[in-house]
Amino acid sequence: MKEKLFSFSINRSLIIALVSLMALGACKSKKKAAQPAPAPAPVETVEQAPPPPAPVASAEEVAAEKLENYFNSVAAAGNTSMANQSIQETLAMFSNQETPVLIVIHEENGIKDYDEPTTIKKYLEYLKDTKKNLNFISDIRLDANGKVSELELRRK
């Protein structure tokens, strides 16, 4: 008898839940049908200001980007003749082959410690030999002719 009572209450509960679910669903659909469609918002034409002009890169930024590319090409050169060609192209950007290259190894409170100073020619030969470009350009100085007169590098 208890089993019959239990199954009867489960069936009854399921039917009640089904009926109430259908009733709730019907109410929602009637509300949606009864509500009028919202009027489209009026379209306003607003004149947009022209976009600001792209920032113009300074001569130092352009030179630094070119040098980074040259340094990477020297380090990644497949053979020595390609590396030497890249070195010659790079040296054309400098005022002379003895242009100082300073590599910052530590900085604290605005005081910089440099590795032993070198020249651009020696640095490019170093890149060719090690085939690794571990530094990035942190400061670059150009002379009146637009050639690089001093270069400061940092570790990546």
Q: What CA–CA distance (Å, rounded) separates 124 from 89?
A: 11
Residue 11 or 82, more confident: 82
Reply yes or no on domain 59-155 having CATH 3.10.450: yes
For residue range 117-142, list pLDDT tens digits in order.
Answer: 999 999 999 999 999 999 999 999 99
pLDDT: which is higher, 117 or 11: 117
Give the pLDDT confidence score for residue 63 in this predicted structure: 92
Name the least confident of 12-16, 63-67, 119-123: 12-16
Q: Between these two residues, 63 and 3, which has the higher pLDDT value?
A: 63
137 strand-pairing partners: 153
Q: What are the sequence ranges of the domains in the chain?
A: 59-155
Q: What count of Cα atoms within 13 Å lies in the side-chain half-sphere of residue 142? A: 13
- How far apart, in Å, do the first and last CA atoms of the chain sit? 82
Residues 6 or more apart from 90 whose CB is under 8 A from it?
67, 70, 71, 74, 120, 124
Please give the share of the chain, as a percent, with pLDDT higher than 90. 58
Contact indicator for 140, 148 with CB cutoff of 8 Å: yes
Considering Cα of 116, then 117, then 121, then 124, what sign does the dihedral take? positive
How, if at all, do strands 118-119 and 148-155 pair? unpaired
DSSP character string of 104-120: EEEEETTEEEEPPPEEH
